[in-house]
Structures are given as structure tokens and as C-alpha cells.
Amino acid sequence: MSAPSTHPSLGPSRSGGRERRLRPPRALTVVGPRLVLATAALVLGVALLLDPPGLSFPTWFVLIAGASIVLGEVMPSLMVSRHAAPISTAAAVALAMTPAVTPGDGFASAARVIAILGIFFLASQVIAWLLGRPAQLGPAAARFLGAAATTVACRGISTEGRGTLLQWAWGGDLSSPVAATLLLLCAVLGWLVERASQVLVQVGSREVGAPGAQRALVLDSVTSGAVAASGPLIAVSYPVLGLLALPLYVLPVTLVLLSQRRYLAVQRAQGEALVVLSRIPAIAAGGRPGHPQRVADLSVEVGRRLGLTEGSLHSVERAALLHDIGQVGLEVPLEHGMTIDASPQSLETVIESSRRIAQTALDTPGLEEVLAAVHEPYRQQLEIGRELPVEARIIKVVNAYDDLTEGAHGQRVVHLALERLHLGLGYEYDPEVVEALDEVVSQG
């Protein structure tokens, strides 16, 4: 299940806009996910051959950790997105660092623990399939590879006379802070392997380069990293807390996760509300269907070309969707809803209406200032030193461009529109923004 996103699609939009997502090489989109699945299958196969778990009854801690892995993979409510399953990750890392997997087994081999982890991850996908939910083989395989890397680092690397890192940590040869630090480094290694594998899976599903992908990738990475760090804490606490170690650390993570999902759901609902509001001018004021979405799509691309952060791009997109909302205050609608040739009086009405709507109906900090400045000429910044928000300067240029092209992409139409914009450089439009727009549409 994907994490809720506040970003409308910048691909082929409902308005008929061009696809503007960055496309990874086609070969990588095919090879990436298959490479992850093949590597996971190979690792599990080798582990089963080297040291199969057998029929010995595992410890209760292993069973609880396994149940947590299965629940974390099967229940969408316990996932940030299909590429980040905190409960599953925390349980897998804790299991990788727990010495015994069967009573009296001492320090189980890396192969045996990897085999047990693989069985739990496979079981989660089988259960998901039986419940009628889509299996997430790629993301689950990536998490398995991360846990396997942690296991190898803890259990699979042995030094002569001293054994493995896990034996150092649990054998009293190291102080508790040093042992915890080394275990944490093992968890970080597993996290890096998992993140790299998840990126390969996302490339295959064409999520990389999609709108909001960078923001989602950062969110998933931070969440997975923070949770992976809890694995060593669970393992170190196990001798003292016993079976309570896992639930005591996992329960707070679960509560935070549920709160985060609720927050993201609210953000998604707000994004959907903005899209609905953006259609009002086309219905009530004679605007053009699809114009706000096209302006939002292109404004984000121009903002990205100018080097804006993901947060600023989100502000650009949000304001671009609503840049014409003030037209509902006009007694006589503009012809086709175009503001490029609107009279100063009409623009004043649009600006004032936008400001009122933003103040009373939209609880979004900063939006009022941007909407009010969208129709201000760039000369205001040059002549009287009034700083116009960069979001407003971008939307003003892109809005004028779409007014001139009306969504058409023919070479002559685009050339004439850009020529018209260049006539207003430094007076009506920000030259830097126009240059960025020129680059974007030329490469489109």
C-alpha cells in the first residue's frame, strides 16, 4: 500500500498535460526488480543449503519476532508505504542480533538465521496472497536482503580466536556502549543494503522521478533507518527483559506509525480538496477545464529547474492549482478565464477575492501572500523594492504561457508564446523564470 501523497500526478494529468516525470533507463526498470528478487532467492537458497533450520522448536522470542515480521508485512496499517515496513524491519534486525534461535543452540550461524528470516518473509507474502491482498515481493525481498546483510555482519564474519561480533558483544569481551555501537553499525549496513534494493524496486515500478518521489523516498529512508536502529536496543535488552523486549520497543513505534499515517491521510485529503477547489473557476467563472492542473504541472517543473526544494515545490503546486480562484468574484467573467490581457480593475478584483478566500476558507500559511502576488507585475520588485514570492513569479509566467498556448504543444505555438513572454521581460515577468520555462518546454 502506498503512502498517502499530497502531490497530484505530474504524469499524463486529467487535463491532458504532457508526462513530465523523469524516466530511468528502460533496461534498469526491467533488470532492477528482477535483480533484487534473484539475489534474495539466491541468498535464501544458499542459507538453506548451508544450515537449514531443521525441526527444532525455536525460542519464544524467535516466534514473536517472526509473528511481528509477518504482521508488519501483511497489515497495511503497520506500513508507512510498501517500501517501508517499520515493525517488520525492527523485528528482523532484532532477530538477526539475538544469539540463539533454538533452546540451547548457543550462537546460531548466520546461514540458519538468514534461512529463518527468509521463511518468515516468504510466509508473509503467502498469507497476503491467501487474504486476497496484493503480494509485495520486491519490497519484502529488499527488506530481507537488508536483514540478511545485518546478520552476516553480526554472525558471519569471524576473527581468529575471538569469534564473531555477536560473540564479542554477548560474551563480555566488550563494554556495553562499545557493543551497542558495533551492533548499531551492523544495523546501519543492513539499512543501506535495504534502501539500495528498494530504489531498484522503485525504478522497476517507475516510481523514481514521479512527483513527490524524492519526498517519499526521504520519508521511507528516515523511518526505516530510525526503526533499524531500535533492533540493537531490542537485542541488548533481551537478557534483562526477555520476551518483553520486542513488544516494549515495537509498541511505541506502532503508535507513532499510526499517528504518522493519520497525518498523511489528512495531507492527502487537503490535496484532494485543493484539486476540487481549482475546478470552481472553470465551472462558475467561465474558465478553461484543465488549465489549473496544467499550470501546476509546469510550474513544478520550472521550480525544479530553478533549484527549489521539495517543500517549495509543494507550495508552488498548491498555489498554482488555486491561482484563478479569485475569478469567482468577478461580476463579468474574463473571456475564457484568461488573465493575461485582463484589465487592471479585473485583476484587482481577482487579487482581492483570492486574498479573502485564502483568509477565510483555506487554513494554509503563506498561501494568501502567494495568491495575492500572482498577478502583480515583476516591475513591482524592481521599482519599489517589493519582494514578490518566487512561487508567485513562477506561476505568473507559467499562467501566461498556458493562456497563450491553451495546452497546445506545437512548435510554432510554443515559439510564439515564448516570444510574447520575452517581450515582457523585466517589466511583467521575471527573466530568470522565463529562461527556466524556455529550457523546460524546449526539452519537453
Q: In which band, very low, low, confident or very high, does the pLDDT at 30 lie, cut at 50, 70 and 90?
A: low
Cα end-to-end span (Å), the chain:
31
Taking CA atoms, 91 is separated from 27, 68, 72, 81, 98, in Å, by 34, 6, 9, 17, 11
At residue 163, the 3 state secondary structure works out as strand
Instruction: Supply the pLDDT for residue 151.
Output: 92
**pLDDT tops 80 at residue 324:** no
pLDDT tier for residue 4 given thresholds of 50, 70 and 90: very low
Q: How far is CA 72 from the centre of its chain?
A: 19
Cα dihedral 250/255/258/260 (nearest 10): -100
| Percent of the chain residues topping a pLDDT of 70 | 70
d(CA 415, CA 400): 14
Name the amino acid, one letter, at 222.
V
Phi-psi region of 163 (alpha: psi -120 to 50; beta: other; left: phi over 0): left
The larger pLDDT score, comparing residue 123 to residue 23, is at: 123
- C-alpha distances (whole Å) from 20 to each of 103, 110, 421 are 57, 45, 22
* 80 grid coordinates: 508507512
Q: Do the beta carbons of residue 329 and residue 352 sit within 8 Å? A: yes
| pLDDT beyond 70 at 219 | no
Could you read off the pLDDT of 187-197 as tens digits, one per residue? 889 989 998 88
Count Cα neighbours of 220 within 13 Å in the Cβ-side half-sphere: 27
Task: At 178, give phi and psi (nearest 5°).
Answer: -65, -45
> Where does the pLDDT of residue 9 fall: very low under 50, low under 70, confident under 90, or very high at 90 and above?
very low
Cα distance between residue 149 and residue 172, in whole Å: 24
Give the up-direction half-sphere exposure of residue 409: CA atoms within 13 A in the CB hemisphere.
11
| C-alpha neighbours within 13 Å on the C-beta side of residue 75 | 15
pLDDT digits (tens, 9 = 90+) for 338-381: 666 676 777 777 777 777 777 666 666 677 778 777 777 887 66
Mean pLDDT over 429-439 rounds to 88
Task: Report phi then psi at 404, rounded to 5.
Answer: -80, -35
